[in-house]
């Protein structure tokens, strides 16, 4: 029996948002017998006690350098909060084919206290949610309910299919449902026919002498609007706020 490809769960969010607590809950309560979870942390992150094995990944010159630990079936990979989420997701798309793994889901953990305190950074969260299958709202105490309702309403009005979850003490309501590897994201970045910008695609064209009825027009590859750059490969067309100056020094 052929071994199944490990599933990568890429987790966007800020330090102190509770990402590791959610990972622990999913690993302990959402996996089947025989599954093995591993946590991959960016080298820039701080280490702490973990209930599952921990390894590191490296951000190097715009690329992800990481090895999928042997025997892992579910790899929870924490994004680096100080690096653009768009750059990291784009790099994840490029890294996956050689990794031997495939994407399970993309998560965003929204620290409501942080988001409420920094309204100018909403564009950063908006970019994260664009790529996400599940959005978790954490650190909700003291945050006006209207802020949380408006945040969620912004995406529901655009018919985002992602799940919105409100963990209690780091525990989600249905871990197995959260881990189900079904795409619920707006982004087409992990679809089979997706191609990164700058990759040339060759289309087969039938001989015109064979008749128009024999010509099969192939659909162009899907594109992700957040990956688009200005002419000449310059800045992104959609600029995402840099949250690094607002992040705590550790956590």
The DSSP letter of residue 6 is P
Q: What is the largest CA-CA distance in the chain?
A: 71
Predicted pLDDT of residue 221: 59
Predicted pLDDT of residue 49: 60
Question: Which residues of the chain have a pLDDT value below 70?
Answer: 1-3, 44-49, 193-221, 249-251
Exposed / middle / buried, residue 95 (Cβ in 10 Å: 0-12, 13-18, 19+): middle
Predicted pLDDT of residue 196: 67
Instruction: Give the Cα-Cα-Cα angle 152, 118, 130 (nearest 5 degrees).
Output: 40
Q: Which residues have CB under 8 Å from 194's CB, separation 6+?
A: 93, 188, 221, 222, 223, 224
138 vs 14: CA distance, rounded Å: 11
- Sorted by where each begins, the domain ranges of the chain are 7-192+237-246
Q: Report the candidate in 50, 55, 61, 58 with the shortest Cα–Cα distance to residue 26.
A: 50
Q: Which residues have CB under 8 Å from 151's CB, separation 6+?
A: 110, 112, 115, 125, 137
The DSSP letter of residue 2 is P
Q: Which residues have CB under 8 Å from 84's CB, separation 6+?
A: 240, 242
201 vs 55: CA distance, rounded Å: 36
pTM for the structure as a whole? 0.87
CATH 3.90.1150.110 fits 7-192+237-246, yes or no: no
What would the two tokens of residue 55 be?
């390894």
């Amino acid at each position: 029996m052929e071994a199944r490809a490990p599933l990568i769960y890429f987790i966007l969010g800020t330090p102190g948002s509770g990402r590791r607590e959610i990972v622990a809950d999913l690993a302990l309560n959402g996996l089947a017998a025989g599954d093995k979870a591993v946590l991959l942390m960016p080298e820039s992150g701080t280490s702490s006690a973990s209930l599952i094995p921990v390894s590191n990944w490296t951000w190097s010159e715009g690329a992800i350098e990481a090895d999928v630990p042997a025997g892992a079936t579910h790899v929870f990979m924490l994004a680096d909060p100080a690096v653009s989420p768009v750059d990291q997701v784009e790099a994840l798309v490029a890294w996956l084919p050689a990794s031997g793994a495939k994407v399970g889901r993309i998560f965003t953990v929204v620290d409501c206290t942080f988001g409420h305190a920094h309204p100018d950074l909403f564009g950063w969260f908006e970019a994260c949610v664009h790529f996400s299958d599940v959005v978790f709202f954490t650190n909700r105490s003291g945050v006006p309910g209207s802020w949380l309702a408006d945040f969620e309403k912004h995406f529901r009005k655009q018919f985002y299919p992602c799940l919105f979850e409100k963990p209690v003490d780091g525990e989600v309501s249905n871990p197995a449902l959260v881990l189900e590897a079904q795409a619920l994201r707006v982004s087409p970045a992990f679809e089979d026919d997706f191609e990164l910008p700058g990759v040339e695609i060759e289309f087969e064209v039938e001989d015109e002498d064979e008749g128009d009825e024999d010509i099969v027009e192939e659909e162009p590859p899907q594109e992700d609007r957040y990956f688009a750059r200005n002419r000449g490969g310059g800045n992104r067309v959609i600029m995402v706020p840099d949250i690094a100056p607002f992040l705590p020094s550790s956590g």
